[in-house]
Structure 1
């Protein structure tokens, strides 16, 4: 008793209570700090609990396609809600821990946020990297350069782990380059990025590099995805991607390939085959574009400008929705054409967006 009351008198009751609570308070604070671990070709950041939390609630599959420039808060919350919380895992090939405090503190509802920067093929086969990804309740592919993802991760144990998460219905999100690798066919950017003008003037330009099946989220089994769509004027290059896919017989016919372009500050949320759109505040009025060829390209050949007519476009904005099965929804519908490398549209004034 004397050993207890003496410090109580010296420090005061409040101070003693704080002293007793200090380990718990420190534990809570430390749980929100970022811890770094490094291996050969990879870095790991952890915010929150290091323990693998087993969730009682079943997760619900889904995909959040973010167009870039700004993270869409509502899309991150949607991913967390579908997972029921747990471990939110970010993968990237460059950069650092930029999503840690944003997801843990601003979005919330997760047990941990983990970022893996996987910069080599050896790192993509590292058991620690693979194990952390396999424990994810949400997987998010950050922006950067999608050619890194294709070159460094395809055919590795990390790639297998990503596919395993899909089979377990783990919701997945991607922004910018992360979005670009979510379709059945990807613009892999293996020879650098590509302007619409270059793709339209020669759809066999060396920069038109297409890759198949890196990720292919549910609902996009017949689609090419692209980001920053209107802001970076990517309608023309999307037509070139579609035309090349048809001309090179990557697909079974002109009606077997489609395109999804997402604006900056916008997220398309896929729940099965139903797409809804969210915009980050400050990006109101932007949208997403769903393209479907109505015929094969007329001229799609090396060193010749593209002629590709009657490509149907459905644009959805914040009030819209779209069904990928019926290819219809609450949208503005029009057609665009590439005529000898020049884009035209049936919209008033010829606007293609």
Structure 2
């Protein structure tokens, strides 16, 4: 019997390697069709925060959860399915071992039918090399932007969610290596060529922020993004036991056990000035990014059990419960100081129209969007989540949207005096 079991196990592992994935299912194998709620859940890399995970699972509205990982086994299945008190139809874990497994038609079908997708930890370059530039990348982006599903991850699974990302292709990079040479051969970054997640398009995420050296390294990531793209850069980071949950309106609530433990999330942005680029960001030289000691504006938010503290990703200026800091790098030396919030209206092109009666309804929408205002001579433009402009025709203050695919859209309404951006979801 012992030899028979060993033989069968060897056959099982050979089959798993051949097909490129191993599957673990808990719950109902039949698909439960329901509309999910969009959301992003990002965790700092240690054990999961239960309250944040409950928030994430509730976005699935009782549907199916898919866990994607490149190592390990079924550790999330029972935790998601039965230990948090949230009713869901199933939890299906795929341990992916190569790009063939990631693009297997069976795996892609389950991604399409899921209501929530969770990336486990591990080596983020496995995710990049297995999932990027193939049908899995397309399936995940469609899941988020067309279906409007919930997505999240921890550690390496959080590290890949931003529009910019550290790929770790040549292994991890230390704080000293990054600060001493922003173009060190381990500083392997990708820009806007992988996942397209709302509110994260110019964001580089980082985790395990309990290590204070991560702050300097993360600052170099943003310096590289700004330098390489001639664009302002943004970042989101979590201490190991901290989580950030972002809803469809861009409200990022922070979960943790502060003040019992020092659990924080950090929201970084290059300052809103004309001269925001690093003074020195070149191959072989230490980073110098000072800009009057406020190269980066950072909002540090303590995570609480109920997630009451927040930062608003729709404007990158508004928050509650946190404190503003300046971060900068002086010839390879990282430093911080206290600060005030930046005034980024012009830089972000999202302007607050005080005392103006202007509404865009409904949200979410289906067949039409209605513009409620007494203001005249308005110019209206509509864009999908990738930034592509879509044609709109306004008739009796309504935009016909029947032909648009489900997903997230931005409507910009302006005249010569002001401009406002609205984010809406079609379902």
State yes or no: 1:296 paired with 2:274. no
Question: Would the aligned equivalents of 1:71 and 1:280 in 2 still touch at CA under 8 Å?
Answer: no
Q: How far apart in 2 are the matches of 1:234 and 1:281?
A: 20
Match of 1:27 in 2: none
Q: Where does the alignment leave 5 or more consecutive residues of structure 2 unmatched?
A: 1-12, 340-427
Match of 2:30 in 1: 51
Residue 216 of structure 1, CA deviation: 3.2
**Match of 1:236, SS?**
helix
Q: How far apart in 2 are the matches of 1:53 and 1:283?
A: 40
- Bigger radius of gyration: 1
Question: Would the aligned equivalents of 2:36 and 2:116 in 1 still touch at CA under 8 Å?
Answer: no
State yes or no: 1:203 paired with 2:178. no
Match of 2:330 in 1: 339
Question: Would the aligned equivalents of 1:73 and 1:280 in 2 still touch at CA under 8 Å?
Answer: no
1:21-57 C-alpha deviation (Å, 9 max, x unpaired):
xxxxxxxxxxxxxxx99461110000111001112xx
Residue 282 of structure 1, CA deviation: 9.6
1:194-228 C-alpha deviation (Å, 9 max, x unpaired):
11111001111111111133223211112111111
Match of 2:81 in 1: 104
Quickly say closer, same or farther: Cα 1:85–1:322, change in 2 above 3 A.
same
Match of 2:91 in 1: 113
Quickly say closer, same or farther: Cα 1:281–1:323, change in 2 above 3 A.
closer
Q: How far apart in 2 are the matches of 1:60 and 1:100?
A: 21
Q: 1:82 aligns with which of 41, 45, 59?
A: 59
Quickly say closer, same or farther: Cα 1:335–1:282, change in 2 above 3 A.
closer
**Match of 2:148, SS?**
coil
Residue 165 of structure 1, CA deviation: 0.8
- Deviating above 2 A after TM superposition, structure 1's stretches of 4 or more consecutive aligned residues are 36-39, 230-233, 280-285
State yes or no: 1:262 paired with 2:238. yes
Q: How far apart in 1 are the matches of 2:92 and 2:258?
A: 26
Question: Would the aligned equivalents of 1:267 and 1:279 in 2 still touch at CA under 8 Å?
Answer: yes
Q: How far apart in 2 are the matches of 1:89 and 1:232?
A: 33
1:291-342 C-alpha deviation (Å, 9 max, x unpaired):
1112211111111111111211110113521111222212200101100101
Q: How far apart in 1 are the matches of 2:152 and 2:123?
A: 16
State yes or no: 1:317 paired with 2:297. no
Quickly say closer, same or farther: Cα 1:283–1:84, change in 2 above 3 A.
farther
**Match of 2:285, SS?**
coil
Quickly say closer, same or farther: Cα 1:45–1:282, change in 2 above 3 A.
farther
Match of 1:131 in 2: 109
Residue 347 of structure 1, CA deviation: 4.3
Residue 231 of structure 1, CA deviation: 2.6
Q: How far apart in 1 are the matches of 2:88 and 2:257?
A: 21
Q: How many residues align?
A: 308
Q: How far apart in 1 are the matches of 2:31 and 2:287?
A: 52
**Match of 1:234, SS?**
helix
Q: How far apart in 2 are the matches of 1:113 and 1:71?
A: 16
1:68-120 C-alpha deviation (Å, 9 max, x unpaired):
11111112211221221111110011111111111111024111110001111
Q: Where does the alignment leave 5 or more consecutive residues of structure 1 unmatched?
A: 1-35, 349-353
**Match of 2:224, SS?**
helix
Question: Would the aligned equivalents of 1:262 and 1:268 in 2 still touch at CA under 8 Å?
Answer: yes
Greater CA drift, 230-239 or 151-160: 230-239
Greater CA drift, 307-316 or 321-330: 321-330
State yes or no: 1:189 paired with 2:168. yes
**Match of 2:149, SS?**
coil
Structure number having the greater helix percentage: 1
- Larger RCO of the pair (alpha carbons < 8 Å, separation 6+): 1
**Match of 2:268, SS?**
strand
Q: How far apart in 1 are the matches of 2:257 and 2:173?
A: 26
**Match of 1:346, SS?**
strand
Question: Would the aligned equivalents of 1:53 and 1:86 in 2 still touch at CA under 8 Å?
Answer: yes
**Match of 1:265, SS?**
coil
Question: So what's the TM-score if we normalise by structure 1?
Answer: 0.83
Quickly say closer, same or farther: Cα 1:93–1:322, change in 2 above 3 A.
same
1:268-306 C-alpha deviation (Å, 9 max, x unpaired):
010131111011699733111111112211111111111
Question: Would the aligned equivalents of 2:236 and 2:265 in 1 still touch at CA under 8 Å?
Answer: yes
Greater CA drift, 221-230 or 339-348: 339-348
Map 1:212-231 to 2 at 5 A: 212-213=191-192, 214-231=194-211
Map 1:159-198 to 2 at 5 A: 159-166=137-144, 167-198=146-177
